Amino acid sequence: MRVRAFAPGRVNLIGDHTDYSGGYVLPMAVHLGTTVEGVRGGDEVHLVSDQESEDAVIALTEDEPQGVEPAWARYVAGVVAEIRPRKGFRGRVRSTVPVGAGLSSSAALELAVAGALGFPGPPLDLARACQRAEQRASGVPCGIMDQLTSAAGRAGHALLIDCSTCSIRPIARPEGADIVAVHSGQSRRVAGSAYAERKADCDRAARFVGPLRDATRADLTQIPDPRTRHRARHVITENERVLAFAQAWADGDMVVAGELMDVSHASLRDDFEVSSPVLDSLVDRLRQTPGVFGARLTGAGFGGCAVALTEPGALSEGWHLEAADGARVVEEG
């Protein structure tokens, strides 16, 4: 039987570094994605990739994804280690998601591999298995946003996700606005250690004020050291911005939505310190372009893309993103 599994990348419109403390995010699955196509059988997973010179060859008993070479094969190994398929797979990977751009190429790969290997569960289970696969492959304690968006995307909609319950509210994309991802030129290696440090800062803040998702600005005075206080301030105010953005979108108010994106970027830059000079100048340039409502870094930061909300046709550069359906599998013959 031939199997073809597809999983989309994602762009996050607003709500970064909020998922791993149970906050709100507002991403959408995009039309760029990863396809894994081939045949099930055998006792290893062997994948050739269009974009990589070396194949991924993973035994079904693989248990140490982080030690696997080449590096891209670690994500395949993470999925194998998590879902323990009974049969192997032989096939090829094609992707239109740019790697290292902050558009979740790794989540798209994980979900497409899991689909190809026959993962049986509903989207939330698929997302959780692939989140664990990503953590095992990369050592980065990532949240659920990327995998859940790729699993549960809906054409024409962004997803308002409450990461404490993983409940999802699709919000129709308003007419009359473009969503454009523009690469900063700086490859985003999720500086694993910096990401883990940010998460540790949030965990530390929660020891003073309780779960950040339920904390308020007034609670910030209980956090003694400035760095932890600033991290918490980002998360608390970003959660507010996500909900305000969802409302602005529902009202079709692109001016307010764009302003919230601008403030989000400033908060990620100043309070959470995950931007970079290259990203800051890209965001400034985009914002000064006529017809741009707002712009911000998207995803983990440390390089990669900025996302801009614009009047139709305002930007000729970058990826003009459509909101797409989530991961799917076609089995033939």
Known catalytic residues are 146
Among 3, 17, 80, 212, binds ligand GLA (CB under 6 A): 17
- x/- track of binding to ligand GLA for residues 85-124 (CB under 6 A): ----------------------------------------
Residue (85 or 267) nearer to ligand GLA, CB: 267
Candidates 141-149, 168-176, 289-297, 315-323; binding stretch for ligand GLA (CB under 6 A):
141-149
The token pair that represents 181 in the structure block: 């991802």
Shortest Cβ distance from residue 64 to ligand GLA (Å)?
A: 21
Shortest Cβ distance from residue 17 to ligand GLA (Å)?
A: 5
Candidates 31-39, 49-57, 139-147, 168-176; binding stretch for ligand GLA (CB under 6 A):
139-147
Crossing angle of helices 105-116 and 123-138, rounded to 10°: 120
Nearest partner of 224 among 238, 244, 204, judged by Cα: 204
β-bridge pairing 56-59 and 89-95 = unpaired
Reduced DSSP (H G I as helix, E B as strand, rest coil) percent helix, strand, coil of the chain, to 5: 40, 25, 35
Shortest Cβ distance from residue 20 to ligand GLA (Å)?
A: 6
DSSP code of 333?
-
Among 5, 6, 8, 19, binds ligand GLA (CB under 6 A): 19
- x/- track of binding to ligand GLA for residues 290-329 (CB under 6 A): ---------xx-----------------------------
Candidates 13-21, 73-81, 207-215, 219-227; binding stretch for ligand GLA (CB under 6 A):
13-21
Nearest partner of 202 among 164, 240, 227, 231, judged by Cα: 231
The token pair that represents 237 in the structure block: 């105010």
Candidates 12-20, 65-73, 82-90, 205-213; binding stretch for ligand GLA (CB under 6 A):
12-20
How many chain residues touch ligand GLA (CB under 6 A)?
A: 10
Q: Does 273 bind ligand GLA (CB under 6 A)?
A: no
Residue (187 or 314) nearer to ligand GLA, CB: 187
Residue (20 or 319) nearer to ligand GLA, CB: 20
Q: How many CA atoms lie within 13 A of 269 on its CB side?
A: 19
State which amino acid sits at residue 44: E
Please check whether residue 66 is in contact with residue 110, taking contact to mean a CB–CB distance below 8 angstroms.
no
Radius of gyration of the CA atoms of the chain, in A: 19
Distance CA 110, CA 136 (A): 12
Q: Does 142 bind ligand GLA (CB under 6 A)?
A: yes
Element (H, E) at 310: strand 305-310
Nearest partner of 299 among 139, 137, 176, 186, judged by Cα: 186
Distance CA 301, CA 209 (A): 26
Q: Does 143 bind ligand GLA (CB under 6 A)?
A: yes
- Interface positions with ligand GLA (CB under 6 A): 16-17, 19-20, 142-143, 145-146, 299-300
